[in-house]
Amino acid sequence: MNARPAGPDIDTALHTVLARHGPDRHALVQMLVDLQAMLGWLPRRLLADLAAAIGRTPGDVEGVAGFYRFLHLQPVGRYRLLFSDNVIERQQGSHELMARLCRQLGVAPGEPRGDGAVSVATCSCIGLSDQGPSLLVNHRLVVTHLDEQRIDQLASLVDHEVPLHDWPADWSHVQDTVHRADVLLGSTNAPGQALQAALTRGADAMLAELQTSRLRGRGGAGYPTASKWQACRQAPGPEHVVVCNADEGEPGTFKDRALLRRQADALVDGMAIAAFVLGARRGFIYLRGEYRWLLDELLALLQQRRAAGLLGARILGRAGFDFDIAVHLGAGAYVCGEESALIESLQGERGTPRIRPPFPAEKGYLGLPTVVNNVETFCAVSHIALHGGDWWAGIGTPQSTGTKIHSVSGDCERPGLYEYPFGTRIARILEDCGARHTQAVQVGGPSGQCLSEFEFNRRIAFEDVPTAGAFMVFDRRRDLFEVARGFAQFFAHESCGFCTPCRVGTELLRRRMDKLAAGAGSRHDLDVLFELDHLLHATTHCGLGATACNALRDTMQKFRPAFERRLQSLHFAPGFDLDAELSVARRLTGRNDEAAHFAQPVEASRPPP
């Protein structure tokens, strides 16, 4: 594997991609991903030729390519290094390590070096915060456990243009870090065993078991899985579609990463069971671009299952039960985890969330009734098929049945994966992971809740503290203002820009937080942050905008001193220094008397000592 393969020219690359996908306009995102893997970036002429070949306009194709952060419309370095930028890895020194690497390589962040050899930038969390700081190389290789020594060696490898396959293998070794396994992570079921159990039960009885289990989706919203399948099953359409959401974009979450590696058969069994219940023939796994390094293993597993009669035509020898799965790679857009944006991306479009209703269960992929479920949800389905709905409903709490996997990161001795029955207290998880002097826990990632130590007796459950899986621990050394600021930057970066309240609102949040960080804020700025929270909740088009202020609001309410000690004034402080702005005019006019200065009434509004 060279940094960038001494690759084909534009025409050969285009020819190869068209031969692989056919002139299918809906395969556009995959074609772009493949073309970039061959050429390193996407020249304009290529996009125009591709547009002509698949019957789309050049503007349309460029618009799609421009949406995804992992697709480059300008040349990038032959080595493209992306540091995972989440608050946990920042606390572990990722920014300092990136600055060190940039110094050593003589490169400015975000700009390719003059000789085109390398570019260094940040990206949102790459799902390795249990073994960070981490980075991605050319979107296909990960480097974990970064420290100064590793950075220095890495700089030397890049400077000598050492091919990626000659880099130390242990750098890319990703541990699964399972510290507590229960039903899902501890499963030893044979491939196809759960699927066989579902076939034996029959489609109606399988759906009834799911109903009995009261399984709720693990992707965040907690929608009852049986109701979703039932709605999809009843929706008219020439065919039905099953989609697995493996986008796992919520910073601090990495449980699907482990399930995809350790329990991929349970996942595929779950998807095949959905296909059996719905009568679907087509399935997709939407794998986030950051997990490109998992792709080959996943494709090999699907191939093994085809060979074993567990996927493809006449599954388990059953006439009429034909179902196959394609893996679709994302390209660096958090919003594509939202199910309707994900479907747009699957269809070769920008990942803009749709107006709902209609929901995907009625009109999803290409307008067909489509079930979208999280990786963990499908794994849970396979266990329900084997052991029945009553058994599953007996685990957890009445409203939140079964187990939940937590991705624990931050200030604790044993970061990694912990699976517990629903109803487990926060304090128990903290104790098990070896957390000391904990000040706060962010449950469910930036869009979740921030809990203070007075709340550690609360329970993980949809009816108390719901979660999609991230569990970020902050001890008393941490500045929660900086944590909240990191989250504000994340949402401003990931807003898809489609609706004004989110596009503008997340940027206003980010700027207010920067103003406070610069020590130029007042209580008025805190009031504005609360107003923005209301606005985002009430007016945005999708869940990204609606939840963008959650962590900020919680932190402001529960850790107010972290904000107040940054205030310059309790009343109002302008965002810029008017007197300083006038300095150029003073210099040009040669005036520097008292009347040439603009007095700001700062002293009058300073808080009392």
Q: Figure out which of the listed residues 112, 127, 249, 251 binds ligand FMN, where binding follows CB under 6 A.
A: 249
Least distance CB 240 / ligand FMN (angstroms): 16
- For helices 203-213 and 225-234, what crossing angle results, to 10°? 150
Site for ligand SF4 in 292-351 (CB under 6 A): 335
At residue 526, the 3 state secondary structure works out as helix
Q: State the Rg of the chain over Cα.
A: 26
Binding to ligand SF4 (CB under 6 A) within 482-521 occurs at 495-499, 502-503
353 contacts ligand SF4 (rule: CB under 6 A): yes
- x/- letters, 458..497, toward ligand FMN (CB under 6 A): ----------------------------------------
Which residue lies nearer to ligand FMN by CB, 89 or 256?
256
| Minimum distance, C-beta of residue 32 to ligand FMN, in the bound complex (Å) | 21
Stretch that binds ligand FMN, among 30-38, 135-143, 241-249, 392-400 (CB under 6 A): 241-249
Q: Is 226 or 508 the residue whose CB approaches ligand FMN more closely?
A: 226
**Shortest Å, Cβ 247 to ligand FMN:** 4
Q: Which stretch binds ligand FMN (CB under 6 A): 88-96, 160-168, 333-341, 575-583?
A: 333-341
Q: Select the binding partner of residue 586 from ligand FMN, ligand SF4, none (C-beta < 5 to 8 A, by kind).
A: none
136 forms bridges with which residues in the sheet?
82, 142
Output 265 or 494, the one with its CB closest to ligand SF4: 494
CA-to-CA distance for 532 and 502, rounded, in angstroms?
10
- Does 467 engage in binding with ligand SF4 (CB under 6 A)? no
> Which residues inside 171-230 make contact with ligand FMN, applying CB under 6 A?
217-221, 223
Q: In sequence order, what are the residues at sequence separation of 6 or more whose Cβ sits closer than 8 angstroms to the Cβ of residue 390?
A: 212, 213
Question: Quick one: which H or E segment has residue 425?
Answer: none
Task: Give the sign of the dihedral formed by CA 336, CA 337, CA 338, CA 343.
Answer: positive
Interaction partner, residue 337 (ligand SF4, ligand FMN, none; CB < 5-8 Å by kind): ligand FMN
> In terms of CB distance, is 369 or 505 closer to ligand SF4?
505
448 neighbors 468 (Cβ within 8 angstroms): yes
Which C-beta is closer to ligand FMN: that of 277 or that of 573? 277
Q: Compare residues 336 and 346 and give the one whose CB is closer to ligand SF4.
A: 336
Instruction: Give the pairing type, strands 135-137 and 141-143.
Output: antiparallel
Residue 274 interacts with which of ligand FMN, ligand SF4, none, CB < 5 to 8 Å by class: none
Angle at 100 between CA 291 and CA 138, to 5 degrees: 25
Which residues, other chains included, contact 95 with Cβ-Cβ below 8 Å and sequence gap of 6+?
none
Sheet holding 135-137, edge to edge: 118-123, 79-84, 135-137, 141-143
Say if CB 109 and CB 98 are below 8 A apart.
Answer: yes
Kindly tell me which residue out of 335, 379, 385, 526 binds ligand FMN, with binding defined by CB under 6 A.
335
x-or-dash pattern for ligand FMN, window 354-383, by CB under 6 A? Answer: ------------------xxx--x------
Looking at the DSSP assignment, which residues form a beta bridge with residue 34? none
If one asks whether residue 396 binds ligand FMN (CB under 6 A), the answer comes out as no
Distance (Å, whole) CA 440 – CA 474: 5
- Residues that contact ligand FMN, how many (by CB under 6 A): 22
The option from ligand SF4, ligand FMN, none interacting with 223 (CB < 5 to 8 A, set by class) reads ligand FMN
Task: Please return the burial class of 546, using the count of CB atoms within 10 Å of its CB with bins 0-12, 13-18 and 19+.
Answer: middle
CA-to-CA separations, 136 to 80, 94, 120, in angstroms, rounded:
8, 13, 10
CA distances from 595 to 577, 579, 582 (A): 17, 11, 12
The distance of closest approach from Cβ of residue 46 to ligand FMN in the complex, given in angstroms and rounded to an integer, is: 30
CA distance 403 to 421: 4
What DSSP assignment string belongs to 18-32? HHHH-S-GGGHHHHH
Cβ nearer to ligand SF4, comparing 352 with 438: 352
User: Given phi > 0 = left and psi -120 to 50 = alpha, else beta, which region is 111?
Assistant: beta
**What would the two tokens of residue 602 be?**
């700062």
CB of 537 to ligand FMN, least distance (A): 13
Q: Could you give the string, one character per residue 521-560, with x where binding to ligand SF4 holds by CB under 6 A and - elsewhere?
A: -------------------xxx-xx---------------
Query: Which residues of the chain form contacts with ligand SF4 (CB under 6 A)?
Result: 335, 353, 495-499, 502-503, 540-542, 544-545
Residues that bind ligand FMN (CB under 6 A): 217-221, 223, 245, 247-250, 335, 337-339, 372-374, 377, 542-544
